[in-house]
Structure 1
């Protein structure tokens, strides 16, 4: 299948560094071409998303029947193919997302400047306030010794109530391919689920904790650093990769307000080890500035809103081939995209 995918990618007329989408980008000409190929698809092949959110593509009228042909097959397959694991009786797997691509010719914004913008945004009227809970889409690669790697995709919303109870809703979803099946590893074995299939829908009783990451994060950079260190159960200062991992834990528990966002941006700017890389479009269609850190555990790319300094996403990719588990350098290990 790898050879076939390479042939399909070679036939794809869309440049891999195109700016319109970060994952399988389309320029406007390619969008028009794809729109011409998708006509009168039979009813029932696609249903609405359970959780509408930014950057998602819904089916429009008139996209109902696929016009088959050589060009149609090459373009559609290159953009939406769901590869099969090798072997006649193996489980179909959702393809890992391609690494995000920095827009060619874009100007990197230093973190110091972004921290200044975040501080200015924190002082504006109506600035967002801190709230407990999260809304995140995530992709993670599952690996084992006896099976090829698979990519698990889900969306999670956690909301807390005034009495200390909270709800958690998790659905199987992949914004790259709305309506297509995705994988779950519930029960220890990967299996296909419909897009929008509810994995978890639960209400938890009241609970309180004064320990990070359950306790509210401070909006002072020095105190926030200590908070993140404690959240990682570390007795020593965090390295830059460890700090980014701690940021992901924080954002999986809290939706930061403008003051906390400013403190985090200043903390990251003062830490060092993050290289400004330029503009990128994340997997929800949002424009951001990318900052890269190489270290143990892979290359981490942090995507931040260029106006407010808010963290939009974090991507981790492999920095070396690991043939024993079937991954190559540059493969996406995990990705999270946080929303308000």
Structure 2
């Protein structure tokens, strides 16, 4: 019992250290007030939550193993001879690999998307359906890969501004919450525009909310960072998808990587951005005919022994569906 209490204290201290390190509030400037989290802060909070869930899952596995080891050890040794070599935690999903034979430029996709939007196509819809996964990073010499499962989240909005959020993992509903109407009408709650220039301004505010408003437009990397906040709130229509494709084509930085089959089995065009200072690679997947964003994957491009991750490991992904 004492050992388990010590483990809980250590976990609590580790979470406090993570929160202190991520504290965005300066001790020397102000004044400060409540404001929405930006995309980077939301990702950090999600990482902390995943880390906590993973730690609890590992603790459950350890307790179960301690109780069952004596009863099952002999049987497992006889019936599953290779079990000792199997990893104790879930495998990190492999990165997606585009095929270079049919790469389309973003300009070409934007042209197609604009033509499709002129013909009609789906309209913008408030709400989202997304499958997400992100690695929970443990730090230190004993860092291990945690047990994590993809989460499927569906958000439905009501006419009064309230919303229902249902989360599934491994095919089972793990939470269902009703959120009351919000007073905020700032992006991404407000309706996204359907022109490239206005959409860039919108995503700039998603990435860096507050006043005074930022005067420089979001970079391509910042657009990618802000995109999940938009797509977890809205399902884009044909005009908004065309605007996004044109925005990305005009921004530069994303290189065509070819055709790829995403994690929901759909065929799309992959576009890659390398962040050399952070040793990360972002891969955005678009429908080649409509510009609709299908998925976003972030991958490590350098070994991180401190966190037990290697170059080529996936850090996170999102896959959006209608």
TM-score of the alignment, normalized to the shorter chain, above 0.5 = yes
Specify the SS of the correspondent of 1:106. Answer: helix
Partner of 1:123: 118
Segment drifting more, 280-289 vs 225-234: 225-234
Matched position secondary structure for 2:208: coil
- Per the alignment, residue 304 of structure 1 pairs with 286
Determine the C-alpha separation between the residues in 2 that align with 1:121 and 1:318: 35
Q: Deviations over 1:235-282 (max 9, x none)?
A: 343222221111122111110011111111100000000000100000
Larger helix fraction of residues: 2
1:166 aligns with 2:141: no
Q: Tell me: CA distance 1:261–1:83, structure 2 relative to 1, closer, same or farther (3 Å).
A: farther
Deviation at 1:205, TM superposition (A): 1.8
**Where does 1:140-179 land on structure 2 (aligned, <5 Å)?**
140-145=134-139, 146-150=142-146, 151-172=148-169
Distance in 2, matches of 1:274 and 1:225, equals 16
> Counterpart in 2 of 1:84?
87
User: TM-score, normalised to structure 2's length?
Assistant: 0.68
Matching of residue 262 in structure 1 with residue 242 in structure 2:
yes
Q: Indicate the structure (1 or 2) with the bigger Cα radius of gyration.
A: 2
Matches within 5 A, 1:54-69: none
Pick one of 100, 114, 118 that aligns with 2:96: 100
Q: Counterpart of 2:101 in 1: which secondary structure?
A: coil
C-alpha separation between the residues in 1 aligned to 2:149 and 2:303? 21
Deviations 1:2-47 (A, max 9, x none): xxxxxxxxxxxxxxxxxxxxxxxxxxxxxxxxxxxxxxxxxxxxxx
Q: Report 1:1-340 matches (<5 A).
A: 84-85=87-88, 93-103=89-99, 105-125=100-120, 127-145=121-139, 146-150=142-146, 151-172=148-169, 195-233=170-208, 235=214, 236-295=216-275, 296-297=277-278, 298-340=280-322
Contact 1:299 1:319 in 2 (8 A): yes
How much does 1:83 deviate? 5.0
1:208 to partner: Cα distance: 4.3
In structure 2, distance between residues paired with 1:230 and 1:289:
27
Once residues 321 and 280 of structure 1 are traced to their aligned partners in structure 2, the CA distance between those partners, rounded to angstroms, is: 25
- Secondary structure, aligned partner of 1:209: coil
- Checking the alignment, whether the CA contact within 8 Å between 1:129 and 1:256 is kept in structure 2 is yes
> In 2, distance between residues paired with 1:304 and 1:230?
23
Structure 1, unaligned stretches of length 5 or more?
1-72, 86-92, 173-194
Taking structure 1 as the reference length, the TM-score comes to: 0.65
Offset at 1:163? 1.3
Distance 2:238 2:283 in 1: 22
- Rounded to whole Å, the distance in 1 between the matches of 2:265 and 2:101 is 17
Task: Kindly provide the CA deviation profile for residues 311-333 of structure 1, in whole angstroms up to 9, marking residues without a partner as x.
Answer: 00000000100011100001000
Question: Cα–Cα, structure 1 residues 320 and 129, in superposed 2: closer, same or farther, change >3 Å?
Answer: same
Please tell me whether the aligned partners of residues 104 and 269 of structure 2 are also in contact (alpha carbons under 8 angstroms): yes
Q: Aligned equivalents of 1:108 and 1:158: distance in 2?
A: 33
Deviations 1:161-194 (A, max 9, x none): 111111000011xxxxxxxxxxxxxxxxxxxxxx
User: Which range is displaced more, 195-204 or 281-290?
Assistant: 195-204
Structure 2: segments with no counterpart, 5+ residues: 1-79
CA distance in 2, matches of 1:253, 1:83: 39
Q: The residue matched to 1:142 in structure 2 has which SS?
A: coil
RMSD: 1.9
Q: Which runs of at least 4 in structure 1 moved beyond 4 Å after TM superposition?
A: none
Matched residue of 2:272: which SS?
A: strand
Distance 1:83 1:307, change over 3 A: farther
